[in-house]
Amino acid sequence: MNKKIAAVVALVLAITVSWQLHQKQNRDAANAGTKSDSAVTGDINVFAASSLTETFTMLGKEYEASHPGVKVNFTFGSSSTLAQQIVAGAPVDVFASASKKSMDSAGDRMITKADFVMNHVVVAYKAKDQSSIPAGTTAAQLLNGSSVWIQCAHEAPCGAAADKAITAEGVTTQPKSLEPDVKSVLAKLLAGEVDFAIVYHTDVVAHSELSEVEFVDKTAAVTDYSIGQVQGSNPATSDFLTYLKSPHALELYSKAGFGIPGQ
């Protein structure tokens, strides 16, 4: 009996040691993953369409909070202008463009390109200043009158979308000015310098004092965003790009008024 008991005890001890070794290996693997995450360090320079300012700024701060070794630096502006700067050799890791055309014009420095989100242009106005606009009024009726309106420059994605939308709508009047990007258009509208402005739907969502009239041909008014990684970028870039396309990020884009491909 003593020999049998000893054998059983030895077997139990062997199983216990094996289980503990297995658990240690699991913990080591988990710790290795944590170390890998903490190894994401350095500056990540992001060029992004100005219409992404609010959501990207929020996501950048969140990412920095969860990755203490990382600093995310944003440059917002017209996608076409940012693309030119990338071609000229500007130090950048991520490019988020408000159009595929601007992304393509960034040239061979882009080592990845992917569909991102969608947006569409609308005719926006300050509700309190245009309170007499009757329901059912079309974009053409607003812009073809004696009102003063503005839009983005033709080469900017917001301007290209505006051009297609007003052509499809049958707008015959001309804008008072062509602004470099949508934030410049929006600023003049909010300042009361113009009656109407062609901006993105997301801009109206972000400003409760604004109302909008959509173009009849919504397809013409849409612009597809693209995002990608630039050659020679910080190794942390891939991880940050994954974060920008995470379910949490997609939820923020949706709340801001962006369209999500496939949804």
Which superfamily, per CATH, for 119-222?
Periplasmic binding protein-like II (3.40.190.10)
Which string of b and e fits 234-258 if b means at least 16 CB within 10 Å? bebbebbbebbeeeebbebbeebbb
User: What is the phi/psi pair of residue 131, to 5°?
Assistant: -70, -15
In the beta sheet, which residues pair with residue 76? 48
What amino acid is encoded at 148 in this protein? V
3-state helix, strand, coil in the chain (%, to 5): 50, 25, 30
Tell me, what's the pLDDT at 39? Answer: 66
Q: How far is Cα 78 from Cα 86, in angstroms, rounded to an integer?
A: 13
Q: How far is Cα 204 from Cα 125, in angstroms, rounded to an integer?
A: 9
Tell me, what's the pLDDT at 13? Answer: 47
Q: Are 236 and 70 in contact (CB under 8 A)?
A: yes
Give me the tens of pLDDT residue by residue for the chain, a chain 263 residues long: 455 554 444 444 444 444 444 444 434 333 333 333 556 789 999 999 999 999 999 999 999 999 999 999 999 999 999 999 999 999 999 999 999 999 999 999 999 999 999 999 999 999 888 888 888 999 999 999 889 999 999 999 999 999 999 999 999 999 999 999 999 999 999 999 999 999 999 999 999 999 999 999 999 999 999 999 999 999 989 999 999 999 999 999 999 999 999 87
CB atoms within 10 A of CB 185: 32
Classify strands 114-126 and 222-229 as parallel, antiparallel or unpaired.
Answer: antiparallel
Report which secondary-structure segment, H or E, holds 177.
none
DSSP-derived letter for residue 215 is -
Q: How far is Cα 121 from Cα 149, in angstroms, rounded to an integer?
A: 14
The residue ranges of every structural domain in the chain are: 1-39, 42-117+224-256, 119-222
Q: How far is Cα 31 from Cα 33, in angstroms, rounded to an integer?
A: 5
What amino acid is encoded at 141 in this protein? Q
Q: How far is Cα 17 from Cα 27, in angstroms, rounded to an integer?
A: 15
Q: Which CATH architecture has domain 42-117+224-256?
A: 3-Layer(aba) Sandwich (3.40)
Tell me, what's the pLDDT at 125? Answer: 96
Q: Is the C-alpha dihedral spanning 234, 230, 226, 205 positive or negative?
A: positive
**Which whole-number Å values give the CA distances from 123 to 120, 150, 203, 251, 253, in the listed order?**
10, 10, 11, 25, 21
How many helices and strands (H and E) does the chain possess?
A: 11, 9
Tell me, what's the pLDDT at 131? Answer: 81
Degrees, nearest 5: CA angle 161-167-169: 100
For 123-176, the three-class secondary structure string (H helix, E strand, C coil) is EEEECCCCCCCCCCCCHHHHHCCCCCEEEECCCCHHHHHHHHHHHHHCCCCCCC
